[in-house]
Amino acid sequence: MSQSVAPTFQEIVSRLKQYWSERGCVIQEPYDVEVGAGTSCPETFLRALGPKPYRTAYVQPSRRPADGRYGDNPNRLYKHMQLQVILKPTPADVIEQYMGSLEAIGIDLRKHDLKLEEDNWENPSLGAWGVGWQVMLDGLEITQFTYFQQCGGVDLELVPAEITYGLERLTAFLQNVDSVYDIEWTRGVKYRDVRYTDELQYSVYNFELADIPTLWKLFEIHEKEARRLVDSYAEYEPKKRFPLLATYDHVLKCSNLFNTLDARGAISVTERAAVIGRIRRLAVDVAADWLEQAA
C-alpha cells in the first residue's frame, strides 16, 4: 500500500472506534489513573465480573516503566496506546468481527498473512487470566486476543473476549515506517512531535531519578488506604453507596508504583512474588465486593 493513502494514527483510532461503535460498544475515553494495560481499567476488570452483558471499546495509554528507552528505540515505548475492546458475552463470530475491523482500517486480508498463535494471558497482580492468541499479521504481532476465564480470582459468569490492538505497531505497519516515531499522527505531525518528550523524561525519571524510599512510601499509603476501605465494606450500609471504584483506584496506584519500583531494580525476585501477592489480595477483595454490590 502506498504511503499517501495510508491512514494516520488518529484516523486509525477513530475508524476502529467507529467500527466497534457500530457493533454495539460503549465508546469510553481512556481511564484517568495510570495503568500498565487496558485490562486493569475498571471498564474491563470490574465489568468483566457478574452476569451483565457489556460491550465497550476505548483507547488506553499503557505505562510500562521498564520498557522505556529514552525515546531512542524505534519499537519500544514507556507508554504505548492500546485499543481495548470487550465483548461480553463473546459473540460466536468474534474472530470474523475482529477481522472485519482490520479491513475497516484498510488491510486487505486476502493479500496478507494472518495467523492466530497460542498465547495465554495472565496478570497475577489482578488474579486474572485467560486463554487466547497473539494475532500475527505478516509476522508482526498486532493484537492480543483473550477469552477471560478469571478476574480477581473469580470464575467469570459470562466469558468476555478481550481484543487489545497495539496501535503504534498497527499504524507503523499500515504506514510502512520502521520507527514508531516516524508514524504520522495526523497530516504533518509525527508521533515524535507528540510523544518524544514524555518518552525521554519518564525514562529519566523511572530509571534514574525516581526516589525508591518515596515510591515505597507512596505504595504503602495507597495500599493502606485501599485496605482500610476494603475492610470497612462489610460494616457499611447501604452497600450501593460504597466507593469500590475509588478503592480500586488505589489498587491501580499500587500496581503502577510496583512497576516503577521494578523498573528501578528495587524489587528482588522473592520480594516480587510477595508484593504481587499484596496487590492481588486487594484486587481479589474489591472484585468479590463488587460482585456482591452489583447483585
Partner 1 sequence: MSAGAMRRDESRGGRHECLRHNLLLEIGCEEIPDSMLSGALDYLGGAVSGLLKENDLGEPHVRTDATPRRLVVRAEGVSARQPDSEERVWGPASNAPPAAIAGFAKKQGMAPEQLEILSDGKAMKYSFVRKIEGRPTTTILAEALPQLVLKAPFPKTMYWTGKGGVRFIRPIRWIVALLDDQVVPFEIAGVASGNESSGHRKLGAARFPVTYENFEAKLRENFVILSAAERRKRIRAVPTKYKCDNDLLDMLVNLTEWPTPFTGSFDAEFLDLPKEVLMMVMRHHQKYFAVETADGKLAPKFVAVTNTDGDPEGLIRHGNERVLRARFNDARFFWETDQKRKLSERVEDLKNVTFQAKLGSYYEKTERIYDLVNRMCALPAVSSQTDSAQVSNHAKRAARLCKADLTTELVKEFTELQGIIGGLYARAQGEPEEVAAAIYDHYKPVSMEDTIPGTMAGALLSIADKLDTLRGCFRVGLIPSGSKDPFALRRAAQGIVKILVEGKLRLPIQTLCDGNPQLEEFMAERVRHYFREIRGFQYDEVNAVLSSGWDDLLDVEERLIAVKAVRPTEDFEPLAASFKRIRNILKQAQFEGLGDSLQDGLIESGPERELFEAFEVTRLALKVLPDYRSRLEKVAGLRPKVDRFFDKILVNAPDPAVRRNRLTLLHHLLAEFSTIADFSEIVTNSPESKEIN
Among 156, 163, 183, 215, binds partner 1 (CB under 8 A): 156
Residue closer to partner 1, measured from CB, 133 or 258: 133
Q: Please classify residue 116 by burial: count the beta carbons closer than 10 Å to its beta carbon, then call 0-12 exposed, 13-18 middle and 19+ buried.
A: middle
Please answer whether residues 126 and 152 qualify as being in contact, where contact means their C-beta atoms are separated by less than 8 angstroms: yes
Residue closer to partner 1, measured from CB, 140 or 245: 140
Interaction of residue 265 with partner 1, rule CB under 8 A: yes
Residue closer to partner 1, measured from CB, 246 or 274: 274
Q: How far is the CB of 97 from partner 1 (least distance, A)?
A: 12
Contact set for partner 1, span 64-83 (CB under 8 A): 72-76
Interaction of residue 208 with partner 1, rule CB under 8 A: no
Report the C-alpha gap between 86 and 58 in whole angstroms. Answer: 9
Contacts of 238 (CB under 8 A, 6+ apart): none
Dihedral, 106, 110, 114, 115 alpha carbons, nearest 10 = 160
Size of the residue set binding partner 1 (CB under 8 A): 44
For residue 246, what are the β-bridge partners?
none
Among 22, 24, 122, 138, binds partner 1 (CB under 8 A): 138
Among 122, 157, 193, 220, binds partner 1 (CB under 8 A): 157
The full DSSP string for 162-229 is EEEEEHHHHHHHHHT-SSGGG-EEETTEEHHHHHHHHHHHHHHIIIII--HHHHHHHHHHHHHHHHHH
What is the 8-class DSSP label of residue 126? G
The C-alpha cell at 285 is 477483595
Q: How far is the CB of 272 from partner 1 (least distance, A)?
A: 9
Residue closer to partner 1, measured from CB, 94 or 218: 94
Among 30, 61, 106, 147, binds partner 1 (CB under 8 A): 147
Contact set for partner 1, span 171-190 (CB under 8 A): 173, 176, 178
Q: Please classify residue 114 by burial: count the beta carbons closer than 10 Å to its beta carbon, then call 0-12 exposed, 13-18 middle and 19+ buried.
A: middle
Interaction of residue 116 with partner 1, rule CB under 8 A: yes
The residues binding partner 1 (CB under 8 A) are 1, 72-76, 89-90, 92, 95-96, 99, 109-118, 120, 130-131, 133, 137-140, 147, 149, 155-159, 173, 176, 178, 265, 268-270
